[in-house]
Amino acid sequence: MSQAATTPYKDPKKYLWPLATILVILPFLGFWLYMETGNGLALWFTPIFFYVFIPVIEMMVGEDTSNPPKEAIPALRDDPFYRWSAFSGAPLAYLVWIAGAWFISSQPFDWNVYIATTITVGLVGAGALNTGHEVGHRRDKTSLLFTRFFLCLCGMGHFRIEHNFGHHVQVATPEDSATSMMGESFYEFVLHELPGGFKRAWSIESKRLERKGKSAFSLENEVLLNSLITIGLYAGITAIFGLIVVPFLLIAALLSNLMLSSANYIEHYGLMRSKRADGTYERVQPHHSWNANHVVSNVLLFHLQRHSDHHAHAERPYQCLRHFDTSPQLPAGYFTMYLAAWNPPIWFKIMDPLVAKQMNGDMSKAYIKPSKRDTIMKRFHAPAEMDAVAAE
């Protein structure tokens, strides 16, 4: 037996994973610098860090070369270090939101202070939602409790139901409100993705309770209960810090939701499962998700970018997710691709040719926005040319 086969796998990123939690406290640095210097630019430190520094650092660091072998997954899965690395972000996220409310209410009113603080706290909320997505795939009571904490902070208490029992079932089909169409801008996408997610979650919970002979308005309805928790949380914060924090709370929550929508937008853009003769869809395959194997954003997002493996093994925790070169690959990590997604002409220029390449020029296999179908087919549909290139 070879040494490689007998040597236990060691995760080279193991002690990097807490960075995703530690960086939650970045806003405190901005608050402190502002109070020490009075310079309003200090409050923009967190957004600049994530959307300027991280893309630059990521280009320097490059892609992730670590990939746990299948035989190492059970030991990785059962290591409590990873579990608590994710859980520990919950109290810090709440602390940042409460500190943000205090900061806004305690400082002389200034538009720069209000806007910068709201955006900064919204980014922290987005991190909480991402972690809630990760731990929300576990089934034990502790994970479900932390999932509730993460999601309720930003008014997304319905997400676990919608994502696990809606998106994962219907992904890469026209039935999925969280799958984006080729030719559809991010801003068009959120108009059906955000309300569609809540509607689908409510429908799933209503039907579950109906089978138990209970009303949809029972507190056993996770969507209803979590929504009430969020309302209670925001009411409590408002009671403590005053009405001035109401726009702050609502806009920060919306920004957090939009960041989660940004991930949903890029993860399956233009990809579609084929329909069988009986009307059902083929099983979800690796080629139905876009992936990014860039080490910095992989660490900061708990391997969210290894999305094909996530859909293949939804209950596999983040430290166990694997990269495969055969999966569709994004040209950069998520933080960079978010910036592209928010600028539709840039996004279409980058991604539409990649979708066409993924389809081998047969655009009948792509998920295309109906109003853009003729234009996209005329520009990209060339299966014979792609077959000729492949033959060469």
Q: Are 321 and 302 in contact (CB under 8 A)?
A: no
Question: What is the distance between the alpha carbons of residues 24 and 29, in angstroms, rounded to a whole number?
Answer: 11
Domain membership of residue 167 (yes or no) is yes
Question: What is the distance between the alpha carbons of residues 319 and 73, in angstroms, rounded to a whole number?
Answer: 9
- Cα-only R_g, the chain: 22
Q: Are 260 and 274 in contact (CB under 8 A)?
A: no
Domain membership of residue 248 (yes or no) is yes
Q: Are 296 and 390 in contact (CB under 8 A)?
A: no
pTM: predicted TM-score of the whole model, two decimal places: 0.93
Domain membership of residue 375 (yes or no) is no
Residues in the chain, how many?
392
DSSP string, 176-198: -TTSPPBT--HHHHHHHHHHHHH
Domain membership of residue 368 (yes or no) is no
Q: Give the number of other Cβ atoms within 10 Å of residue 329's Cβ.
A: 17
Please report which residue ranges of 62-157 form alpha helices under DSSP H: 73-78, 80-87, 89-106, 111-135, 141-152
Domain membership of residue 284 (yes or no) is yes
Q: What residue type is assigned to position 111 of the chain?
A: W
Per-residue pLDDT of the chain (392 residues; tens, 9 = 90+): 344 445 688 999 999 999 999 999 999 999 999 999 999 999 999 999 999 999 999 999 989 988 999 999 999 999 999 999 999 999 999 999 999 999 999 999 999 999 999 999 999 999 999 999 999 999 999 999 999 999 999 999 999 999 999 999 999 999 999 999 999 999 999 999 999 999 999 999 999 999 999 999 999 999 999 999 999 999 999 999 999 999 999 999 999 999 999 999 999 999 999 999 898 999 999 999 999 999 999 999 999 999 999 999 999 999 999 998 889 999 999 999 999 999 999 999 999 999 999 999 999 999 999 999 999 999 999 986 655 445 45
Domain membership of residue 329 (yes or no) is yes
Q: What are phi and psi of 366, to 5 degrees?
A: -90, 160
Q: How far is CA 39 from CA 17, 30, 32, 43, 113, in A?
A: 32, 10, 11, 8, 10
* Structural domain span for residue 322: 3-358
Question: What is the distance between the alpha carbons of residues 22 and 93, in angstroms, rounded to a whole number?
Answer: 10
Q: Are 264 and 301 in contact (CB under 8 A)?
A: no
Q: Which residue has the tokens 């979650």?
A: 201
b/e sequence 195-228, b meaning 16+ C-beta within 10 Å? ebbbebbbebbbebbeeeeeebeeeebbbbebbe
Q: What are phi and psi of 157, to 5 degrees?
A: -65, -15
Domain count, the chain: 1
CA-nearest of 265, 260, 274, 259 to 351 is 265
